[in-house]
Amino acid sequence: MLKIKFLSVFGLLWLFTSAQKCPILPTPAVFQTTNGQFISSGNLLIDPSNITPNLLNAFKNYALWSKGIQVISFVQNPMVKFKKLTNVKQDSYSINIAEQITISYSSEASCFYAWVSLLQLAQQTEGQLSFQKCFVKDYPKFQWRGLHLDVSRHFFTVDEIKRFLDLMAYYKFNTFHWHLTDDQGWRIEIKKYPLLTEVGAWRDSTVENHYTSLPRTYNHSHYGGFYTQEQIKEVVAYAADRFIEVVPEIEMPGHARAALAAYPEFSCTGEAHGVEGLWGVFDDIFCAKEESILFLQDVLTEILPLFPGMYIHVGGDEAPKTRWEGCPKCQAVIKANGLHDAHELQSYFIGRMDAFLTQNGKKLIGWDEILEGGLSPNATVMSWRGYDGGKAAAAENHDVVMCPGSHCYFDHYQGRGAEEPLAIGGFTSLEKVLSFDPIPLDMTTADAAYVLGAQGNLWTEYIPNMAQLEYMAYPRAIALSTTLWSENRPSYEDFFADLSTYHFPFLSSKNVHFSKSCLKPEIKTTRALDWGILIEKAPAKGNNAASTVLAEIKATKRKTKTVQITVDQGPNLPSKKLNVIAHKALGANINFITKPSPKYDNGSLTIVDGQLGARPWKGNEWLGFDSDSVAFDILLEKPIKIKELRIHTLHDPNSWIWAAQTYNISFSKTGVGNGIGDGYSTDEIITIDEINEKTQIIHVVLYGLGRIPTGSPGAGNVPWLFIDEIEVR
Ligand SMILES: [Zn+2]
């Protein structure tokens, strides 16, 4: 055992897995190995007679980038030969590695995919290249396999975008959705409107920490950047060499603050507001008057020749109608076109862009809000608010790209630990991404035919640099590409084995700052048999090691104390500190009179496990209630003397979560109790001290605010109540 301890994390995982492993991800349709290896010197000699010069060039560049392999044309005695097939499945290919390597392909793209698979199969040892003799037959399941990148909230250089594309190509993604404009920065040169980049590409401040943390503080550095049209062409060509199509997004009518900072005359009020430094949704959007529509069509006129692909994304999401409703010009457009309201005006606005793009031989794509007020005739819908938008669009015979927030938002957390870097919220684990299916279960086969595929979205409010971008994208992007490519999706265990055996070492070799959250053990807390809690360390899913007990902590009958546990997370991972408050109700049973919301029900032990929730809250480690009053009983082992109660709650008004306002606590042995305390508190921790009474049952009733007050997010709704611990001293 001692020796195993010093192996690298990848070697260690290899010992724990036994399934047939495949070096190719996404998993190919067929992978059959035969005995023996094909071995060569460090170079690859290929016969280029059956491939185009462009492809040969792409092969050379990509082999060098990915594995440092030199590719040499050598017709006389090549190691690799190519064969073009006709009448085979779209984008299919096969690789046969025997005494020679033969690649058969149907399209240029499929030949590149075969090449990438071959590079993934290549094992390099001491200047030699070796390949397990095998047969691979493969083709993609979905035609739209994308990653999205927001370069407005944070800017990424041309070299960084190229690196992003190189990594995408290694996992056979074929669509790069480039989110070029938003409230916080306009990132593409438009010659007719130079102020878009002179003014719109720069902001004077950027909000720090999570935007829901109050009071807000700002970094006042001048921040921004943009791509010249020449740079855009360079990136598009670079992507094309890797068989990736670039879909540009020019946001309209909402998320327009950067453009309107440059040209306020295209807003409803005409007032200049500056480029936004805060995240969120803003009322000032493009006015729906003719001048604004023509301005945006001018912008598109310069965009179109830069992007030879079919799709132009026009956003369409999160456009508040506040300004339109108060704007005489917008109201005049509504009247002149016989529209009923501002939602139909949004539909009219998008319809004008659809007609313009269709006329220019392109296809419009937009976020699912473009369904509101009626879908434009040729529009493709990108469904992000769940599957519903996509389902509705497919039912109307429109093409759909699925990217529901639940599975495809890679700006969400991927690990549960407090050490995860700040993210916008949510929880989307590697396993959850692998389980994603772009076609929902209740979709008919006819409607499913309209689902082009899916993509992962990387919004960059909390992704300030390339290292963090790689951390959020990888390895989740590999799981997504597997769900989109592989006809027979592997189990999580098989996927994890291939990932950790072959792809983590590859990512490390390219210095990719990928997340290791999926390797971390899980800390599980359960009720101990004789009152108290048991804390165990379970290995990460996919790793077959046994669980180990870290600590058993009794419900202490004496003084409350904090126990610190150091958790060894494994090789190459930092150890973790866990603080547990040992108190008298540790592991007690809870009888809920008000049930927690299923969305935030992490089990009744959550409030008596001695562990406080991480902040900013990540959904787990708390019990969330969506009712105005919350009642439950804490059942102790036997009557004991209690001096103090501390009820830990959460106050996060931006997330519609408010601390309890009043409380009522009573004690009893049987159920009917004597009052211990009631009162008013706006603190996150309600403390009731100097009790000195004996009891076995503690009745807790907490009352919320009733309704969220005017001026606060979610005004008029019932606030959430979140509890992470009831500490009994
Ligand atoms: Zn207007």
Distance between Cα 272 and ligand 1 center (Å)? 14
Distance between Cα 258 and ligand 1 center (Å)? 17
Main-chain phi, psi angles of 239, to 5 degrees? -65, -45
CA distances from 259 to 94, 194, 455 (A): 48, 11, 27
Q: What is the DSSP string of 202-252?
A: EES-EE-S-TTSSS--EE---EE--B-HHHHHHHHHHHHHTT-EEEEEEEE
Is residue 149 pLDDT above 70, yes or no?
yes
Region of 161 on the Ramachandran plot (φ > 0 left; ψ -120 to 50 alpha; else beta):
alpha
- Average pLDDT score, the chain: 92
* pLDDT score recorded for residue 426: 87
Distance between Cα 404 and ligand 1 center (Å)? 31
**Distance of alpha carbon 584 from alpha carbon 529, whole angstroms:** 15
**Distance of alpha carbon 315 from alpha carbon 320, whole angstroms:** 13
Residues 197-241 have pLDDT tens digits of 999 999 999 999 998 888 899 999 999 999 999 999 999 999 999
Residues 479-537 have pLDDT tens digits of 999 999 999 999 999 999 999 999 999 999 999 999 999 999 989 999 998 889 999 99
Distance between Cα 333 and ligand 1 center (Å)? 9
Residues 159-205 have pLDDT tens digits of 999 999 999 999 999 999 999 999 999 999 999 999 999 999 999 99
Distance between Cα 383 and ligand 1 center (Å)? 27
Are 481 and 172 contacting, i.e. CB atoms less than 8 angstroms apart?
yes
Distance between Cα 327 and ligand 1 center (Å)? 5
* pLDDT score recorded for residue 673: 56
Residues 276-318 have pLDDT tens digits of 999 999 999 999 999 999 999 999 999 999 999 999 999 999 9
Is residue 18 pLDDT above 50, yes or no?
no
Is residue 15 pLDDT above 60, yes or no?
no
Distance between Cα 151 and ligand 1 center (Å)? 27
Residue type, 17: T
- The tokens of 302 are what? 């310069």
Distance between Cα 316 and ligand 1 center (Å)? 16
Is residue 13 pLDDT above 50, yes or no?
no
- The CB-side HSE value for 319 (13 A sphere, CA atoms) comes to 32
Q: Where, residue-wise, is CATH 3.30.379.10 in the chain?
A: 30-138
Binned at pLDDT 50, 70 and 90, residue 328 comes out as very high
Residues 31-81 have pLDDT tens digits of 999 999 999 888 999 999 999 999 999 999 999 999 999 999 999 999 999
* pLDDT score recorded for residue 4: 36
**Distance of alpha carbon 265 from alpha carbon 371, whole angstroms:** 28
Distance between Cα 349 and ligand 1 center (Å)? 11
Distance between Cα 277 and ligand 1 center (Å)? 24
Is residue 538 pLDDT above 70, yes or no?
yes
Distance between Cα 273 and ligand 1 center (Å)? 16
* pLDDT score recorded for residue 14: 39
**Distance of alpha carbon 53 from alpha carbon 509, whole angstroms:** 29
| 615 vs 628, higher pLDDT | 628
Residues 601-624 have pLDDT tens digits of 889 999 999 999 877 776 678 899
Residue 97: name the closest of 120, 76, 128, 63 by CA.
Answer: 120
Is residue 663 pLDDT above 80, yes or no?
yes
Burial class (CB within 10 angstroms; exposed 0-12, middle 13-18, buried 19+) of 133: middle
Residue type, 509: S
Residue type, 350: I
Distance between Cα 617 and ligand 1 center (Å)? 39
Is 182 in the active site?
yes
Distance between Cα 290 and ligand 1 center (Å)? 10
Q: What is the DSSP string of 124-191?
A: EETTEEEEEEEEEEE--S-SEEEEEEE-SSS---HHHHHHHHHHHHHTT--EEEEE-EETTEE-B--T
* pLDDT score recorded for residue 619: 66
Are 301 and 242 contacting, i.e. CB atoms less than 8 angstroms apart?
no
Main-chain phi, psi angles of 9, to 5 degrees? -60, -30
Are 223 and 275 contacting, i.e. CB atoms less than 8 angstroms apart?
no
Q: Where, residue-wise, is CATH 3.20.20.80 in the chain?
A: 144-517
Span 522-728 CATH architecture: Sandwich (2.60)
**Distance of alpha carbon 229 from alpha carbon 4, whole angstroms:** 54
Distance between Cα 708 and ligand 1 center (Å)? 31
Distance between Cα 29 and ligand 1 center (Å)? 53
Residues 239-277 have pLDDT tens digits of 999 999 999 999 999 999 999 999 999 999 999 899 999
At the top level of CATH, which class does the domain 144-517 belong to?
alpha beta
Active-site annotation holder among 255, 313, 503, 699: 255
104-118, 203-217, 531-545: which has the highest mean pLDDT? 104-118
Helices 53-67 and 229-241: crossing angle in degrees, nearest 10, is 90
Distance between Cα 337 and ligand 1 center (Å)? 15
**Segment 697-706 mean pLDDT:** 92
Is residue 109 pLDDT above 50, yes or no?
yes
Distance between Cα 315 and ligand 1 center (Å)? 18
Q: Does domain 30-138 correspond to CATH entry 3.40.50.1100?
A: no
CA distances from 309 to 176, 181, 464, 609 (A): 11, 19, 29, 55
* pLDDT score recorded for residue 151: 98
Distance between Cα 264 and ligand 1 center (Å)? 12
Question: Using H for helix, E for strand and C for coil, what is the string for 287-300?
Answer: CCCHHHHHHHHHHH
Is residue 652 pLDDT above 90, yes or no?
no
Distance between Cα 270 and ligand 1 center (Å)? 9
**Distance of alpha carbon 180 from alpha carbon 225, whole angstroms:** 11
Active-site annotation holder among 182, 249, 369, 724: 182
Is residue 19 pLDDT above 50, yes or no?
no
Active-site annotation holder among 283, 318, 325, 628: 318
Residues 392-440 have pLDDT tens digits of 999 999 999 999 999 999 999 999 878 899 999 888 999 999 999 999 9
Q: Which residues of 444-476 are buried (b: 16+ CB within 10 A; e: fewer)?
A: eeebeebbbbbbbbbbbbbbbebebbbbbbbbb
* pLDDT score recorded for residue 1: 31
Distance between Cα 328 and ligand 1 center (Å)? 7
* pLDDT score recorded for residue 219: 97
* pLDDT score recorded for residue 669: 65
* pLDDT score recorded for residue 9: 41
Binned at pLDDT 50, 70 and 90, residue 670 comes out as low
**Segment 317-334 mean pLDDT:** 97
* pLDDT score recorded for residue 17: 38
Binned at pLDDT 50, 70 and 90, residue 559 comes out as confident
* pLDDT score recorded for residue 526: 94
Binned at pLDDT 50, 70 and 90, residue 5 comes out as very low
- The tokens of 92 are what? 């299919």
* pLDDT score recorded for residue 343: 94
Distance between Cα 287 and ligand 1 center (Å)? 4
**Segment 382-397 mean pLDDT:** 96
Q: What is the DSSP string of 654-714?
A: GGTB---SEEEEEEESSS--EEEEEEE--SSEEEE----EEEEEEEEEEE--SSPPTTSTT
